[in-house]
Amino acid sequence: MKDMTNLFETWSLDREIVLVKLLDHPREKVFAAWMDPAALAEWYGPAGLRIESHEADIREGGLWRFDMVGMFEGREQRFPNLMRFLEIVPNERIVMDYGMPADDDPERFRMTVTFDEQSDGKTVLTLRQLHPSAQRRREVIGFGAVEYGLQTLDGLAAWLDR
């Protein structure tokens, strides 16, 4: 696997996408939705796509390998994904590398999710993506990453509300 350490040493705003969602649930419950592989597969991903998990070892050093699956132009398409969990601080933070399953994926990005408990029992979830270049950030924004990310967070909110 390509060493990504230097790529992420500095956090550059021209490479960053930040999504924020206020959730009407305590952070322990919100965090638990990220730690449970079955739950994650139910709510994760953009609207209209389903998740098929192939491997789910959600712990520091573990990984989640899955496909996002949907119908496009009358046929099923699969989008392979891999999250490698780098740091998990219970109820506070999850840090992962996210990209394609290939070890040398040049488009892999760092994703950090934080869980900030509010005094009213709600949680502010912040999802930060740090892309390998400003150009790659522009590309993913162009194909809808912000909208898809917000749909994913809406899916989490709906799952938690059930």
CATH classification of the domain holding 89: 3.30.530.20
Q: What is the pLDDT of residue 13?
A: 86
Residue 152 lies in a domain: yes
Residue 6 lies in a domain: no
Give per-10-residue mean pLDDT for the chain (162 aa): 50 90 98 97 96 97 97 94 98 97 93 98 98 96 96 98 95
Burial class of 69 by CB neighbour count within 10 A (0 to 12, 13 to 18, 19+): middle
Residue 117 lies in a domain: yes
Determine the residue type at 146: V
- The secondary structure of residue 45, as a DSSP letter, is S
- CA–CA distance, 144 with 148 (Å, rounded to integer): 6
- For 103-140, give one letter per residue: b (16+ CB within 10 A) or e: eebeebbbbbbbbebeeeebbebebbbbbbeeeebeeb
Number of Cβ within 10 Å of residue 86's Cβ equals 17
Number of domains in the chain: 1
- Domain span at 22: 16-161
Residue 7 lies in a domain: no
Q: What is the pLDDT of residue 92?
A: 98
Residues 6+ apart with CB under 8 A from 138: none
Beta bridge partners of 22: 124
* Axis crossing angle, helix 134-142 with helix 145-161, rounded to the nearest 10: 60
Residue 90 lies in a domain: yes
Residue 9 lies in a domain: no
- CA–CA distance, 115 with 133 (Å, rounded to integer): 26
Residue 3 lies in a domain: no
Residue 2 lies in a domain: no
